[in-house]
Structure 1
């Protein structure tokens, strides 16, 4: 008496192959592509905003002619401050632009505190309301751009090109390098320098 080559289970123990899989196998394909369910964060975890991290500089449309970014020569010592060109300039991907000639208080509807009276006020449209009314101070010190979070609800993030982003501590000034991205809440701005002859 010969032994069987394989064990065959009784009928009904192993479910039948789904019709779709059987049809694909008959057509010569060996794998069935299945849709991956959408990811949902666990309860209590805030889902990422529309712009959770800063986009690269390439995500911003090119500046208008005459507003090209200035840059330090590639042979400069990296410890040297950036080459002095025109004023600092911030530009969002959806066309919001403003310059920082001295001190600027930015937000949805800025009301500068008493110690910042006389600063330029820049109201920034923000339909997501991720930005506070009085969100941040931008100022120029010794030809460097400095940003300070003015106790905003959703914070200020600075993302230097080629580096990791940093969330700023409220009230603590931080330097912003050329070509970095600043996020005020979820609104991102590319940091540029206007040409020196535009002053």
Structure 2
């Protein structure tokens, strides 16, 4: 059929096609989704990383107060005991030795007569007035203490300006500073050794 054979009906003779119905309401997506916090815990599959908890609200920033001056702390009290002072014993003929802890003195001192360890100090005594193992000398705090180890001619302490005192064997006895300590007939001046540090 050709274009000429096509008949166009006059206006109004054929009803118009119905217009599509407009829905009564339209749904629009919001600009942003509201905040959502689940009320039940979210279970992640095994091996998955756990989601980080929500950050707490940030408090307002307060003004910074001026810093207080730094005061150094007082040094802590040391629990270690201070090292005791050493004592020096000197004879008139030049024999000198220092007692730092414990010393067994005599012509040929044997350490098996004392317990707790000690340092042997052999003293030359041509007159043999001193026993081989004569006396134990030990530092106790700031004191020098002498003990007669059952010597033949005894141990005496002769404080300056006083009479000598004979020690009872086996009894530790303090030796005053600047006193003379007699081991047999050998005399030693006992005084604190000069503090030369460690």
Same fold at TM > 0.5: yes
1:106 maps to which residue? 105
Which aligned segments of 4 or more residues in structure 1 are displaced greater than 4 angstroms?
none
CA contact (8 A) 2:84 2:141 kept: no
| Counterpart in the other structure of 1:122 | 121
Q: CA 1:114–1:137 in structure 2 vs 1: closer, same or farther (change >3 Å)?
A: closer
Instruction: Name the structure 2 match of 1:184.
Output: 183
1:122 is displaced (CA, Å) by 0.1
Structure-2-length-normalised TM-score: 0.55
**Number of corresponding residues:** 116
Q: CA deviation at 1:118?
A: 2.6
Number of the residue aligned with 2:169: 170
Give the CA deviation at 1:187.
Answer: 0.3
Structure 2: 5+ residue stretches without partners? 1-82
The answer on 1:95 being equivalent to 2:77 is: no
| 2:123 equivalent to 1:131 | no
Larger CA Rg, structure 1 vs 2: 2
Q: Equivalent residues in 2 for 1:130-169 (5 A)?
A: 130-169=129-168
CA RMSD in angstroms comes to 1.7
Q: 1:67-113 CA distances to partner (integer Å, 9 max, x unpaired)?
A: xxxxxxxxxxxxxxxxx984100000000000000000000000022
More helix per residue: 1 or 2? 1
- Using CA pairs under 8 Å that are at least 6 residues apart, name the structure with larger relative contact order, 1 or 2: 1
Which sections of structure 1, spanning at least 5 residues, go unmatched? Answer: 1-83
CA distance in 2, matches of 1:117, 1:111: 13
Give the TM-score taking structure 1 as reference length.
0.55
Q: Deviations over 1:122-163 (max 9, x none)?
A: 000000000000000000112210000000000000001111
- Whether contact under 8 Å (2:137, 2:147) holds in the other structure is yes
